[in-house]
Chain A
Amino acid sequence: MPPLSLSEQNDLRIVVESFFGKVYTAHWEMNEELLKVVTKMIKESEACSEAMDFVPRPRAYLTFIDVKKELERMARSLLARRGASYWICNLISTYQWKMEAEIAGQGVNGN
């Protein structure tokens, strides 16, 4: 799996800052593991999928590669919009995904 390019890392940073807060994500590595966590979050959460305006294909078949291709558009969408889905995704990401995202972003994911 090719590593994330610099622009992909920048876009991923915008996405994770938007949900988990810059205070926490400032020290995170923008890596494939973190992108996988974000992919799972979008796949499972209708609100998160809507918040990031992710509609190119059924979420059931959503892959890491799909999300990687859409990162730039997702980042732009998050900067531009703050609707109900965004706020709900924000709650879901904090209550359910924050710890998983942090261990991926700090490289301690996996035994």
Chain B
Amino acid sequence: MIVIAFQIDNGFATSVPNDPKTLPSCDDPSCYAVARPVPYPVSIEKDGVRVKYKYLSFNLPKDVDSLGITDTITVIGYDKNQRILIGSLSDNDFNLPESDISVADGLDIIFTKTPKDKEPDDNKNNFAWRLRILSKQELLGKADKIAVYKKEGLTVYFLSGPKGPYRNTAYIINPKIKNHVVMIQSNLDVQKFINIIASIKLKEK
């Protein structure tokens, strides 16, 4: 019996070789930028709307003007076209070659590792690791502030700067759920955004 196998290019990454040698080296100064741990901010805003989302709860500014809900994202609108987006990222969101690096691991690499750190030995994970290191140039390259906060076992990576659709982004990682990250983006004033981060807690069961 003759079996003819077809490989269909469906645009997805698994059909593509992932040879680390095809990737350039990361030489920009931003490749060596890392988020320094800073003390968790203290919540000064006692008023606000308490939001419960996934495994978290946090306060958002009140005086909400509008609420938009898509399949996976909630958009809270305020006056002067200010808004807060709440959503999440999972391993499945990345149209990338298969690897053992989860969405949370990927953020750990981007925010805490540099080309000087030890890379995984195997090709599959080495390729995925180096992609994260290379993406530091664009994610962290023009950032005004990069920080990591830790609280109640949660890790919060904070990124503020002119690149991206919103000035402020927080990625909240629960290390017990590595394949899932909560993401908050906003064009609010930085201090107001940090107040939101300050109010983050693990949701009580």
Binding site for B on A (CB under 8 A): 17-24, 27, 37, 40, 44-47, 79, 82-84, 87-88, 90-92, 94-100, 102-103, 106, 108-111
Check if A90 sits within 8 Å of B165, measured CB to CB: no
Asked if A102 meets B165 with Cβ closer than 8 Å, knowing A88-B135, A111-B81, the reply is no
| Cβ-based interface call for B154 (8 A) | no
Interfacial chain A residues near B135, Cβ < 8 Å: 47, 88, 91-92, 95
Check if A94 sits within 8 Å of B75, measured CB to CB: no
Check if A27 sits within 8 Å of B71, measured CB to CB: yes
Within 8 A of A (CB), among B107-136: 107, 110, 131-132, 134-135
Check if B131 sits within 8 Å of A88, measured CB to CB: yes
**Closest partner residue, chain A, to B132 (CB atom):** A91
Check if B70 sits within 8 Å of A103, measured CB to CB: yes
Sorting the interface of chain B by its residue count into under 10, 10 to 19, 20 to 34 or 35 or more gives: 35 or more
CA distance A79 to B104 in the complex (A): 29
Asked if A97 meets B81 with Cβ closer than 8 Å, knowing A18-B11, A103-B73, A108-B69, the reply is no
A–B complex contacts, Cβ < 8 Å, 23 sampled: A19-B95, A47-B135, A82-B16, A83-B22, A84-B134, A87-B97, A88-B135, A90-B94, A91-B131, A92-B135, A94-B94, A95-B107, A96-B165, A97-B164, A99-B73, A99-B87, A99-B185, A102-B70, A103-B75, A106-B70, A111-B65, A111-B81, A111-B83
